[in-house]
């Protein structure tokens, strides 16, 4: 496939679109949200059929998708996200006069976005990556996920219609279909300025490597999932055994376990291991097998379980009832902390409703686990106030291993807001400094530029003296509106 014409028109669109005002970008984004809502009678059944996800779940996902689009619309309309900083000149300064320097964030350029299989709407064509790139002022070249091609085309049409209605060049959004070679070519194209990806570790790492081997390396923001450990401390678990078992099982089996925040690892004190296993088993027995996204994912799930079933260190609390071509039967195995610490394989994500329960004897073992953990999107620490107060060292260690540390509830259900961090140390993502969910996701697609002694009439609105946008700015070291 010749990608040159696509990138050429995306680049032309960029030179116009990056300078479009926040208000106009907000209008465009809101038109996308309205378009998705107007097409829901088509989108919901199509996405449901292509993904095997129930219509109720897709309806909720559509709500989340339009909600996040409106969050970005509000963000760019308000405008302060550009982090404007102004240091005024001081011609009298000795020994040398001080120049006038003004800095803000400007759009990066055309961004390649890879859609995710497990969220046909919220992390796909008009999902968080596409919308945060458009909000930043970057055209998007979108690689459709082959698991939901028709949904992707429909959403692509909605975005194109919104661009036309907002009087923007249609090439602010480009829909591309194809396999791995096309994906590689997109990431390697000289006019691509960044890549956003949600999916497997293998896919994300391959794109990261390809982008770094380019003549001009570019950033790759790959969200590759993790096992999202839950750590249960003695008192809290002992006093809330049944409710915690319920919460854990509902998080583990939600959407057949096909979430990047699915809890695939749970640390339990030996004192309560038997009782908690029984409580969890009771809950698991009530969960029906649920269809996975496609046969390939179901096959990968059962293959991963088969490899684990060979391991003598594991004691199975619940074995997947049968190997199904498409449905996931939940499964849970137990392992001693000492054995878990011996082999990194036990940290690998099994995409689906499987978790490993690690039984620890004492705090030193738990601390050793915390030190050994790979980077995670989330870690959840269940402890009552008194026991948490004594675990400051553990908390300090866990902060080094995740992007979001929870003290209540379960990791699934990622709130889309201003403070959300969905991105943790490698290998959960390729760049832990950024989030792929929430308002700050926009920062991935912008870079700082400073103007020194620029004639005032040439300055962008965000940096003009009279602050025509009314945004928050750092003026000579003081935050002002």
Q: Which stretch binds ligand NAP (CB under 6 A): 58-66, 84-92, 112-120, 152-160?
A: 112-120
The yes-or-no answer on residue 223 being catalytic is yes
Q: Which stretch binds ligand NAP (CB under 6 A): 20-28, 92-100, 110-118, 458-466?
A: 110-118
Rounded-to-integer distance, Cα 359 and Cα 270, Å: 5
Catalytically annotated residue among 61, 223, 283, 365: 223
Q: Of the candidates 357, 384, 150, 167, which has an alpha carbon nearest to the alpha carbon of residue 263?
A: 357
For residues 441 and 75, is the Cβ–Cβ distance under 8 A?
Answer: no
DSSP 103-146: EEEEE---EEEE--SS-TTTTSTTSHHHHHHHHHT--EEEE--T
263 binds ligand NAP (CB under 6 A): no
| Angle at 403 (CA atoms; ends 367, 368), nearest 5 degrees | 10
118 binds ligand NAP (CB under 6 A): yes
224 binds ligand NAP (CB under 6 A): yes
Q: Which stretch binds ligand NAP (CB under 6 A): 17-25, 27-35, 201-209, 321-329?
A: 201-209
- The least CB distance from residue 380 to ligand NAP, in Å, is 17
The yes-or-no answer on residue 260 being catalytic is yes
Q: Which stretch binds ligand NAP (CB under 6 A): 55-63, 180-188, 363-371, 384-392?
A: 180-188
Catalytically annotated residue among 61, 77, 260, 365: 260
Q: Which stretch binds ligand NAP (CB under 6 A): 113-121, 162-170, 366-374, 459-467?
A: 113-121
180 binds ligand NAP (CB under 6 A): yes
Rounded-to-integer distance, Cα 282 and Cα 277, Å: 9
61 binds ligand NAP (CB under 6 A): no
Rounded-to-integer distance, Cα 436 and Cα 123, Å: 9
For residues 346 and 340, is the Cβ–Cβ distance under 8 A?
Answer: yes
Residue placing its CB nearer to ligand NAP in the complex, 137 or 264: 264
Q: Which stretch binds ligand NAP (CB under 6 A): 194-202, 235-243, 401-409, 411-419?
A: 194-202
199 binds ligand NAP (CB under 6 A): yes
Within 349-460, where are the H helices?
Answer: 363-372, 385-389, 392-399
Residue placing its CB nearer to ligand NAP in the complex, 35 or 264: 264
- Segment holding 155, helix H or strand E: helix 149-165
Going from the C-alpha of 440 to that of each of 9, 82, 108, 120, 419, the distances in angstroms are 28, 11, 15, 22, 8
| Angle at 168 (CA atoms; ends 164, 172), nearest 5 degrees | 100
17 binds ligand NAP (CB under 6 A): no
- The least CB distance from residue 255 to ligand NAP, in Å, is 11
Task: Check residue 289 and report its DSSP letter.
Answer: P
Considering CB under 6 A, how many residues would be counted as binding ligand NAP? 24
Q: How many CB atoms lie within 10 A of CB 389?
A: 10
Widest Cα–Cα separation across the chain: 81
- The least CB distance from residue 38 to ligand NAP, in Å, is 27
For residues 195 and 207, is the Cβ–Cβ distance under 8 A?
Answer: yes
Window 137-156: contact mask with ligand NAP (x via CB under 6 A): ------x-xx----------
- The least CB distance from residue 207 to ligand NAP, in Å, is 5
Residue placing its CB nearer to ligand NAP in the complex, 201 or 472: 201
For residues 242 and 390, is the Cβ–Cβ distance under 8 A?
Answer: no
Backbone angles phi, psi at 44, to 5 degrees: -65, -50
* 59, 191, 200, 348: residue in contact with ligand NAP (rule CB under 6 A): 200
- The least CB distance from residue 6 to ligand NAP, in Å, is 16
Q: Of the candidates 305, 257, 269, which has an alpha carbon nearest to the alpha carbon of residue 381?
A: 269
223 binds ligand NAP (CB under 6 A): yes
* Count of positions (residues) in the chain: 481
291 binds ligand NAP (CB under 6 A): no
- The least CB distance from residue 11 to ligand NAP, in Å, is 22
Residue placing its CB nearer to ligand NAP in the complex, 337 or 420: 420
Which strands make up the sheet holding 265-269, listed edge to edge? 315-318, 331-336, 354-360, 265-269, 230-232, 376-382, 402-406
- The least CB distance from residue 397 to ligand NAP, in Å, is 24
116 binds ligand NAP (CB under 6 A): yes
Question: Which residues are designated catalytic?
Answer: 223, 260
Q: Give contact residues for ligand NAP (rule: CB under 6 A).
A: 114, 116-118, 143, 145-146, 179-180, 183-184, 198-200, 203, 206-207, 223-225, 260, 297, 300, 351
């Amino acid at each position: 496939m010749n990608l040159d014409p696509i990138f050429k028109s995306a680049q032309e669109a960029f030179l116009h679109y990056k300078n479009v005002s926040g208000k106009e970008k907000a209008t465009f984004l809101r038109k996308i949200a309205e378009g998705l809502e107007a097409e829901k009678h088509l989108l919901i059944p199509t996405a449901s059929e292509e993904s095997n996800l129930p219509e109720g779940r897709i309806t909720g996902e559509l709500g989340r998708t339009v909600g996040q689009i409106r969050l970005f619309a509000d963000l760019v309309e308000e405008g302060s996200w550009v982090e404007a900083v102004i240091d005024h000149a001081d011609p009298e300064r000795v020994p040398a006069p001080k120049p006038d320097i003004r800095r803000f964030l400007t759009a990066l350029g055309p961004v390649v976005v890879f859609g995710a299989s497990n969220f046909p709407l919220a992390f796909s064509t008009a999902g968080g990556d596409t919308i945060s790139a458009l909000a930043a002022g970057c055209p998007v070249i979108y690689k459709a996920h082959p698991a939901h091609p028709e949904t992707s085309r429909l959403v692509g049409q909605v975005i194109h219609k919104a661009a036309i209605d907002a009087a923007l060049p249609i090439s602010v959004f480009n829909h591309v279909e194809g396999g791995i070679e096309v994906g590689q070519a997109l990431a390697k194209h000289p006019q691509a300025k960044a890549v956003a990806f949600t999916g497997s570790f293998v896919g994300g790492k391959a794109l990261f490597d390809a982008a770094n081997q380019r003549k001009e390396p570019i950033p790759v923001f790959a969200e590759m999932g993790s096992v999202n450990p839950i750590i249960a401390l003695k008192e809290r678990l002992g006093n809330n055994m049944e409710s915690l078992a319920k919460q854990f099982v509902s998080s583990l089996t939600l959407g057949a376990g096909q979430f990047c925040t699915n809890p695939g690892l749970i640390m339990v004190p030996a004192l309560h291991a038997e009782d908690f296993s029984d409580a969890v088993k009771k809950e698991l027995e009530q969960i029906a097998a649920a269809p996975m996204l496609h046969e390939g994912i179901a096959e990968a799930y059962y293959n991963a379980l088969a490899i684990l079933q060979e391991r003598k260190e594991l004691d199975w609390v619940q074995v997947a009832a049968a190997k199904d071509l498409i449905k996931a039967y939940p499964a849970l195995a137990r392992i001693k902390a000492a054995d878990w610490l011996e082999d990194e394989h036990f940290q690998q994500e099994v995409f689906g409703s499987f978790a490993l329960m690690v039984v620890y004897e004492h705090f030193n073992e738990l601390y050793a686990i915390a030190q050994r953990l790979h980077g995670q999107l989330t870690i959840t620490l269940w402890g009552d106030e008194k026991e948490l107060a004594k675990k400051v060292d553990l908390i300090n260690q866990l902060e080094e291993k995740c992007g979001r540390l929870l003290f209540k509830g379960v990791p699934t259900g990622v709130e889309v807001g201003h403070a959300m961090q969905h991105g943790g140390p490698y290998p959960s993502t390729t760049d832990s400094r950024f989030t792929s969910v929430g308002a700050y996701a926009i920062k991935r697609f912008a870079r700082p530029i400073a103007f020194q002694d620029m004639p005032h009439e040439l300055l962008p609105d965000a940096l003009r003296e009279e602050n025509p946008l009314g945004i928050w700015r750092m003026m000579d070291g003081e935050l002002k509106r």
